[in-house]
Amino acid sequence: MGEAKESFVMEKVKRPKSLESVTVKMVTGCGNLYVTLTYHDSKVLEVFAHLGRSGGCAACQTEGMTRAISLGLRYGIPIEDYIKGLKGIRCPTPYMFPEEERTLSCPDAIAQVMEMGLGIRKVQKE
Task: With a cut of 60, say whether residue 1 has pLDDT above it.
Answer: no
Distance CA 72, CA 24 (A): 21
What CA–CA distance (Å, rounded) separates 21 from 42?
Answer: 11
- Mean of pLDDT over the chain: 89
Res. 4: pLDDT tops 70? no
Q: Compute the distance between CA of residue 49 and CA of residue 89 in angstroms, rounded to an integer.
A: 16
Q: State the pLDDT at residue 63.
A: 93
The answer to whether the beta carbons of residues 51 and 59 sit under 8 Å apart is yes
Per-residue pLDDT, 125: 57
H helix or E strand, kind and range, residue 44: strand 43-51
Split at pLDDT 50, 70, 90, the class of 5 is: low
Domain boundaries, the chain: 20-118
Rg (CA), the chain: 16
Q: What is the average per-residue pLDDT within 16-39?
A: 94
Q: CA of 24: how far to CAs of 6, 64, 71, in Å?
A: 41, 19, 20
Euclidean distance between CA atoms 54 and 71, whole angstroms: 24
Percentage with pLDDT > 70 across the chain:
87
| Predicted local confidence at residue 119, as pLDDT | 84
pLDDT tens digits, residue range 43-97? 999 999 999 766 788 889 999 999 999 999 999 999 999 999 999 999 998 988 8
pLDDT above 70 (res 22): yes
In sequence order, which residues have a C-beta less than 8 Å from that of residue 54 and are 6 or more positions away? none
